[in-house]
Amino acid sequence: MRPPEESATAPDVIAARSAALADLAAVIDRLREPDGCPWDRKQTVESMAKYLLEEGHELVEAIESGDDRDAAEEAGDLLMVVFLICRIAEEAGRFDLAAAARAVKDKLVRRHPHVFGDVTVDGADEVLTNWEAIKQREREEKEVDASALAGLPKALPALQRAARTCEKAMAAGFRWPAAAGALAKVDEELRELHEALDGAPLDDPDRPRLAPDRRARVEEELGDLLLAGAYLGHYLRIDPEAALRAALRRFEGRFRAMEADGEGPLEGSPVAALVARWERAKRR
Protein backbone atom coordinates (compact mmCIF):
# COMPACT_ATOMS: atom_id res chain seq x y z
CA MET A 1 0.00 0.00 0.00
CA ARG A 2 1.09 3.55 -0.68
CA PRO A 3 2.55 5.46 2.27
CA PRO A 4 0.53 8.52 3.40
CA GLU A 5 2.94 10.89 1.67
CA GLU A 6 2.05 9.39 -1.70
CA SER A 7 -1.39 10.42 -2.92
CA ALA A 8 -3.12 9.92 -6.26
CA THR A 9 -4.40 13.48 -6.06
CA ALA A 10 -3.15 15.63 -8.95
CA PRO A 11 -0.07 17.74 -8.04
CA ASP A 12 -1.74 20.95 -9.21
CA VAL A 13 -4.70 20.31 -6.88
CA ILE A 14 -2.35 19.71 -3.95
CA ALA A 15 -0.44 22.88 -4.80
CA ALA A 16 -3.64 24.94 -4.96
CA ARG A 17 -4.74 23.63 -1.57
CA SER A 18 -1.38 24.37 -0.01
CA ALA A 19 -1.29 27.89 -1.44
CA ALA A 20 -4.81 28.71 -0.24
CA LEU A 21 -4.11 27.43 3.29
CA ALA A 22 -0.80 29.31 3.39
CA ASP A 23 -2.61 32.50 2.34
CA LEU A 24 -5.16 32.04 5.12
CA ALA A 25 -2.39 31.46 7.66
CA ALA A 26 -0.66 34.64 6.48
CA VAL A 27 -3.86 36.66 6.91
CA ILE A 28 -4.31 35.29 10.44
CA ASP A 29 -0.68 36.12 11.25
CA ARG A 30 -1.22 39.68 10.00
CA LEU A 31 -4.35 40.12 12.11
CA ARG A 32 -2.39 39.17 15.24
CA GLU A 33 0.52 41.57 14.63
CA PRO A 34 0.93 44.63 16.90
CA ASP A 35 -0.71 46.87 14.30
CA GLY A 36 -3.27 44.24 13.32
CA CYS A 37 -6.94 43.99 14.29
CA PRO A 38 -7.73 45.01 17.91
CA TRP A 39 -10.50 42.41 18.15
CA ASP A 40 -8.34 39.56 16.86
CA ARG A 41 -5.42 40.61 19.07
CA LYS A 42 -7.72 40.62 22.10
CA GLN A 43 -8.81 37.00 21.66
CA THR A 44 -7.52 34.02 23.63
CA VAL A 45 -7.73 30.30 22.98
CA GLU A 46 -10.51 30.16 25.56
CA SER A 47 -12.49 33.09 24.15
CA MET A 48 -12.38 31.61 20.64
CA ALA A 49 -13.63 28.18 21.73
CA LYS A 50 -17.31 29.16 21.59
CA TYR A 51 -16.97 30.17 17.94
CA LEU A 52 -16.08 26.59 17.04
CA LEU A 53 -19.59 25.54 18.09
CA GLU A 54 -21.26 28.51 16.42
CA GLU A 55 -19.44 28.15 13.10
CA GLY A 56 -19.78 24.37 13.21
CA HIS A 57 -23.56 24.62 13.54
CA GLU A 58 -23.71 27.20 10.74
CA LEU A 59 -21.75 24.84 8.51
CA VAL A 60 -24.17 21.99 9.29
CA GLU A 61 -27.13 24.22 8.38
CA ALA A 62 -25.47 25.26 5.11
CA ILE A 63 -24.75 21.64 4.19
CA GLU A 64 -28.33 20.61 4.93
CA SER A 65 -29.66 23.52 2.85
CA GLY A 66 -27.84 22.13 -0.20
CA ASP A 67 -26.24 25.52 -0.99
CA ASP A 68 -22.63 24.66 -1.87
CA ARG A 69 -21.53 28.29 -2.02
CA ASP A 70 -22.87 28.91 1.47
CA ALA A 71 -21.33 25.64 2.72
CA ALA A 72 -17.92 26.61 1.34
CA GLU A 73 -18.13 30.00 3.04
CA GLU A 74 -19.13 28.48 6.37
CA ALA A 75 -16.39 25.84 6.09
CA GLY A 76 -13.98 28.72 5.58
CA ASP A 77 -15.28 30.46 8.69
CA LEU A 78 -14.65 27.28 10.69
CA LEU A 79 -11.14 27.00 9.26
CA MET A 80 -10.51 30.61 10.24
CA VAL A 81 -11.44 29.89 13.85
CA VAL A 82 -9.14 26.84 13.97
CA PHE A 83 -6.26 28.75 12.38
CA LEU A 84 -6.70 31.68 14.78
CA ILE A 85 -6.82 29.39 17.84
CA CYS A 86 -3.60 27.70 16.70
CA ARG A 87 -1.91 31.05 16.07
CA ILE A 88 -2.87 32.34 19.54
CA ALA A 89 -1.63 29.11 21.14
CA GLU A 90 1.64 29.37 19.18
CA GLU A 91 2.28 32.85 20.60
CA ALA A 92 1.84 31.44 24.11
CA GLY A 93 4.22 28.54 23.40
CA ARG A 94 1.46 25.94 23.75
CA PHE A 95 0.98 24.40 20.28
CA ASP A 96 0.77 25.58 16.70
CA LEU A 97 -1.00 24.78 13.44
CA ALA A 98 1.78 22.44 12.33
CA ALA A 99 1.55 20.45 15.57
CA ALA A 100 -2.22 20.17 15.20
CA ALA A 101 -1.92 19.04 11.58
CA ARG A 102 0.80 16.49 12.39
CA ALA A 103 -1.22 15.12 15.31
CA VAL A 104 -4.33 14.49 13.25
CA LYS A 105 -2.31 13.14 10.30
CA ASP A 106 -0.55 10.64 12.54
CA LYS A 107 -3.88 9.67 14.12
CA LEU A 108 -5.52 9.08 10.73
CA VAL A 109 -2.64 6.88 9.57
CA ARG A 110 -2.65 4.95 12.84
CA ARG A 111 -6.39 4.36 12.76
CA HIS A 112 -6.55 3.36 9.09
CA PRO A 113 -4.36 0.25 9.01
CA HIS A 114 -6.55 -1.06 6.18
CA VAL A 115 -5.29 1.83 4.03
CA PHE A 116 -1.77 2.42 5.33
CA GLY A 117 -1.01 -1.08 6.61
CA ASP A 118 -1.76 -4.71 5.87
CA VAL A 119 -5.15 -5.03 7.60
CA THR A 120 -8.09 -6.21 5.49
CA VAL A 121 -11.64 -5.06 6.26
CA ASP A 122 -15.06 -6.01 4.97
CA GLY A 123 -17.01 -2.77 4.74
CA ALA A 124 -17.50 0.43 6.72
CA ASP A 125 -18.93 -1.26 9.83
CA GLU A 126 -15.72 -3.21 10.37
CA VAL A 127 -13.71 -0.02 9.84
CA LEU A 128 -15.69 1.61 12.66
CA THR A 129 -15.17 -1.37 14.95
CA ASN A 130 -11.41 -1.33 14.30
CA TRP A 131 -11.29 2.45 14.79
CA GLU A 132 -12.90 2.21 18.22
CA ALA A 133 -10.62 -0.69 19.23
CA ILE A 134 -7.50 1.24 18.19
CA LYS A 135 -8.77 4.32 19.98
CA GLN A 136 -9.35 2.32 23.16
CA ARG A 137 -5.81 0.88 23.03
CA GLU A 138 -4.42 4.40 22.63
CA ARG A 139 -6.30 5.53 25.72
CA GLU A 140 -5.05 2.52 27.70
CA GLU A 141 -1.46 3.33 26.70
CA LYS A 142 -1.96 6.91 27.87
CA GLU A 143 -3.47 5.56 31.12
CA VAL A 144 -6.64 7.62 30.71
CA ASP A 145 -10.29 6.55 30.68
CA ALA A 146 -10.27 3.48 28.44
CA SER A 147 -14.01 2.84 28.37
CA ALA A 148 -15.51 2.23 24.93
CA LEU A 149 -17.67 5.30 25.66
CA ALA A 150 -14.76 7.61 26.54
CA GLY A 151 -13.94 10.70 24.56
CA LEU A 152 -17.41 12.08 23.84
CA PRO A 153 -17.65 15.80 24.67
CA LYS A 154 -20.32 16.48 27.28
CA ALA A 155 -21.08 19.76 25.48
CA LEU A 156 -22.49 17.92 22.46
CA PRO A 157 -26.23 18.40 21.90
CA ALA A 158 -27.89 15.64 23.92
CA LEU A 159 -29.45 13.81 20.96
CA GLN A 160 -26.21 13.92 19.00
CA ARG A 161 -24.32 12.64 22.03
CA ALA A 162 -26.89 9.87 22.42
CA ALA A 163 -26.36 8.83 18.81
CA ARG A 164 -22.58 8.77 19.20
CA THR A 165 -22.86 6.89 22.51
CA CYS A 166 -25.00 4.24 20.82
CA GLU A 167 -22.53 4.05 17.93
CA LYS A 168 -19.63 3.45 20.31
CA ALA A 169 -21.55 0.92 22.40
CA MET A 170 -22.50 -1.03 19.27
CA ALA A 171 -18.92 -0.99 18.02
CA ALA A 172 -17.91 -2.51 21.36
CA GLY A 173 -20.39 -5.36 20.86
CA PHE A 174 -23.40 -4.06 22.84
CA ARG A 175 -26.06 -4.49 20.17
CA TRP A 176 -29.08 -6.45 19.02
CA PRO A 177 -28.68 -8.85 16.11
CA ALA A 178 -30.93 -6.66 13.95
CA ALA A 179 -32.92 -3.41 13.88
CA ALA A 180 -36.03 -5.28 15.06
CA GLY A 181 -34.50 -5.45 18.55
CA ALA A 182 -33.96 -1.69 18.61
CA LEU A 183 -37.55 -1.06 17.47
CA ALA A 184 -38.86 -3.41 20.16
CA LYS A 185 -36.87 -1.41 22.73
CA VAL A 186 -38.60 1.79 21.56
CA ASP A 187 -41.98 0.06 22.02
CA GLU A 188 -40.91 -1.14 25.49
CA GLU A 189 -39.85 2.35 26.58
CA LEU A 190 -43.09 3.84 25.23
CA ARG A 191 -45.11 1.32 27.26
CA GLU A 192 -43.14 2.21 30.37
CA LEU A 193 -43.83 5.90 29.75
CA HIS A 194 -47.56 5.11 29.48
CA GLU A 195 -47.34 3.21 32.78
CA ALA A 196 -45.58 6.12 34.46
CA LEU A 197 -48.35 8.46 33.27
CA ASP A 198 -51.20 6.11 34.19
CA GLY A 199 -53.74 8.05 36.23
CA ALA A 200 -52.10 11.42 35.57
CA PRO A 201 -54.51 14.28 34.72
CA LEU A 202 -53.61 14.27 31.02
CA ASP A 203 -57.05 15.69 30.03
CA ASP A 204 -56.43 18.82 32.08
CA PRO A 205 -56.53 21.80 29.65
CA ASP A 206 -53.52 23.11 31.53
CA ARG A 207 -50.28 21.18 31.40
CA PRO A 208 -50.66 18.52 34.13
CA ARG A 209 -48.86 19.22 37.38
CA LEU A 210 -47.24 15.94 38.35
CA ALA A 211 -46.34 15.02 41.90
CA PRO A 212 -42.56 15.10 42.43
CA ASP A 213 -42.18 11.30 42.57
CA ARG A 214 -44.26 10.75 39.45
CA ARG A 215 -42.53 13.60 37.63
CA ALA A 216 -39.11 12.05 38.34
CA ARG A 217 -40.24 8.70 36.94
CA VAL A 218 -41.88 10.26 33.86
CA GLU A 219 -38.74 12.28 33.18
CA GLU A 220 -36.65 9.11 33.42
CA GLU A 221 -38.95 7.14 31.10
CA LEU A 222 -39.13 9.98 28.56
CA GLY A 223 -35.34 10.15 28.56
CA ASP A 224 -35.13 6.38 28.03
CA LEU A 225 -37.55 6.66 25.10
CA LEU A 226 -35.48 9.39 23.45
CA LEU A 227 -32.31 7.34 23.94
CA ALA A 228 -33.99 4.25 22.46
CA GLY A 229 -35.01 6.36 19.47
CA ALA A 230 -31.39 7.41 18.97
CA TYR A 231 -30.31 3.77 19.15
CA LEU A 232 -32.93 2.81 16.53
CA GLY A 233 -31.72 5.61 14.28
CA HIS A 234 -28.23 4.17 14.29
CA TYR A 235 -29.55 0.71 13.34
CA LEU A 236 -31.44 2.30 10.44
CA ARG A 237 -28.41 4.38 9.40
CA ILE A 238 -30.36 7.56 10.17
CA ASP A 239 -28.72 10.36 12.15
CA PRO A 240 -31.35 11.22 14.81
CA GLU A 241 -29.94 14.73 15.25
CA ALA A 242 -30.30 15.43 11.51
CA ALA A 243 -33.74 13.78 11.47
CA LEU A 244 -34.92 15.99 14.33
CA ARG A 245 -33.56 19.13 12.67
CA ALA A 246 -35.45 18.19 9.49
CA ALA A 247 -38.62 17.59 11.52
CA LEU A 248 -38.19 21.01 13.16
CA ARG A 249 -37.82 22.65 9.75
CA ARG A 250 -41.03 20.95 8.57
CA PHE A 251 -42.85 21.97 11.73
CA GLU A 252 -41.69 25.58 11.47
CA GLY A 253 -42.66 25.79 7.81
CA ARG A 254 -46.15 24.42 8.46
CA PHE A 255 -46.65 26.55 11.59
CA ARG A 256 -45.67 29.71 9.72
CA ALA A 257 -48.03 28.73 6.91
CA MET A 258 -50.85 28.45 9.45
CA GLU A 259 -50.01 31.90 10.81
CA ALA A 260 -50.18 33.35 7.29
CA ASP A 261 -53.23 31.45 5.99
CA GLY A 262 -55.66 34.34 6.64
CA GLU A 263 -57.91 32.22 8.86
CA GLY A 264 -57.38 34.26 11.99
CA PRO A 265 -55.25 33.84 15.11
CA LEU A 266 -54.34 30.40 16.39
CA GLU A 267 -55.06 31.30 20.00
CA GLY A 268 -58.63 30.43 20.92
CA SER A 269 -59.32 28.31 17.82
CA PRO A 270 -61.00 24.94 18.43
CA VAL A 271 -58.69 21.94 18.22
CA ALA A 272 -60.57 20.57 15.20
CA ALA A 273 -60.01 23.84 13.33
CA LEU A 274 -56.33 23.86 14.23
CA VAL A 275 -55.92 20.29 12.99
CA ALA A 276 -57.66 21.17 9.71
CA ARG A 277 -55.41 24.21 9.21
CA TRP A 278 -52.34 22.08 10.01
CA GLU A 279 -53.34 19.46 7.42
CA ARG A 280 -53.86 22.16 4.78
CA ALA A 281 -50.45 23.65 5.57
CA LYS A 282 -48.94 20.16 5.42
CA ARG A 283 -50.43 19.53 1.95
CA ARG A 284 -49.09 22.88 0.72
Residues 155-213: pLDDT tens digits?
Answer: 888 898 999 999 888 888 898 999 999 999 999 999 999 999 998 888 887 888 899 99
Alpha-carbon distances of 3 from 42, 131, 205, 248, rounded to whole Å:
42, 19, 67, 45
Residue type, position 35, single letter? D
Asked whether residue 139 carries a pLDDT value surpassing 90, the answer given is no
Is residue 136, in this structure, part of any structural domain at all? no
Asked whether residue 29 carries a pLDDT value surpassing 90, the answer given is yes
155 three-state secondary structure? coil
3-state helix, strand, coil in the chain (%, to 5): 70, 0, 30
Asked if residue 275 and residue 162 are part of one domain, the reply reads yes
- pLDDT bin (cut points 50, 70, 90) of residue 215 is very high
pLDDT per residue as tens digits for the range 221-257: 999 999 999 999 989 999 999 999 999 999 999 999 9
**Model-level pTM greater than 0.85?**
no
| Number of independent structural domains in the chain | 2
- pLDDT bin (cut points 50, 70, 90) of residue 129 is confident
Q: What pLDDT is stored for residue 150 in this prediction?
A: 83
Asked whether residue 5 carries a pLDDT value surpassing 80, the answer given is no
- CA–CA separation, 64 vs 72, rounded Å? 13
pLDDT above 70 as % of the chain: 98
Question: For the domain that residue 181 is a member of, what is the CATH number?
Answer: 1.10.287.1080
Is residue 121 within 8 A of residue 128, CB to CB? The reply is no
pLDDT per residue as tens digits for the range 40-53: 999 999 999 999 98
Is residue 224, in this structure, part of any structural domain at all? yes
Please list, in sequence order, all residues whose beta carbon lies within 8 angstroms of the beta carbon of residue 164, skipping any fewer than 6 positions away: 152, 156
Is residue 118, in this structure, part of any structural domain at all? no
- pLDDT bin (cut points 50, 70, 90) of residue 125 is confident
- CA–CA separation, 228 vs 93, rounded Å? 45
Q: What pLDDT is stored for residue 8 in this prediction?
A: 77
Is residue 194, in this structure, part of any structural domain at all? yes
Asked if residue 170 and residue 68 are part of one domain, the reply reads no
- CA–CA separation, 207 vs 203, rounded Å? 9
- Tally of CB atoms within 10 A around 98: 11
232 three-state secondary structure? helix
Domain that holds residue 68: 11-111
Residue type, position 101, single letter? A
Alpha-carbon distances of 103 from 20, 53, 95, 133, 270, rounded to whole Å:
21, 21, 11, 19, 61
Residue type, position 2, single letter? R
Average pLDDT score over the chain:
91
